[in-house]
Amino acid sequence: MDIIREQPNTIPAPPDLFTGSAFVDVVSIGQGPSRLRALRVHFTPGARTAWHNHPLGQVLIVTDGAGRVQSRGGSVEVIRAGDTVVAAPGEWHWHGAGPESFMTHLALQEAGPDGTEASWDVHVSDSDYLGHRDARDRGPT
């Protein structure tokens, strides 16, 4: 058993995978045979991930603030501290802070056998983020 007493370094989230300002703390990267990944992600108001999926699914535990989440083809849902979001394997989705609130969540996912944690697609449009979808703006295909 290891006890890690120092906090991880906070790094900016990659702008090619996020809209707005978000920051990531790498909490744990499982050592073989474990492929578990644990990340604490801090979103500023309006910040969000791009559309993505995880080969073995993802669990988000909202620890602070309020945000939004959407599965492809579904409605934008408000999430708050204390909520848990479970994305199924291969389910396209995005998540981030609300337009006027910060949001932090713990993201848990297992990398696939090839080490892939996620497949990424286009940035979430302002229309999708605000819940105003139309025929021209359907997310990834």
pLDDT in 10s for each residue of the chain, 141 residues: 888 888 889 999 999 999 999 999 999 888 888 899 999 999 999 999 999 999 999 999 999 999 999 999 999 999 999 999 999 999 999 999 999 999 999 999 999 989 899 999 999 999 999 987 543 334 443
Residue-level pLDDT at 119: 97
Q: Where along the chain do its domains lie? A: 10-129
* Contact in structure between 68 and 95 (CB atoms under 8 Å): yes
What 130-137 contacts at long range (C-beta under 8 Å, 24+ apart), as own/partner pairs, is 130/76, 130/99, 131/75, 131/76
Residue-level pLDDT at 86: 98
Measured CA to CA, the distance from residue 139 to residue 92 in angstroms comes to 9
Measured CA to CA, the distance from residue 141 to residue 55 in angstroms comes to 17
At a CB cut-off of 8 Å and minimum separation 6, what does 68 contact? 48, 76, 77, 78, 79, 95, 96, 97, 98, 129
Token pair recorded at residue 95: 């998540």
Residue-level pLDDT at 133: 53
pTM: 0.88
Report the 10 Å Cβ neighbour count for 71: 18
| CATH of span 10-129 | 2.60.120.10
Residue-level pLDDT at 8: 86
Closest CA to 25 of 38, 6, 15, 34: 38
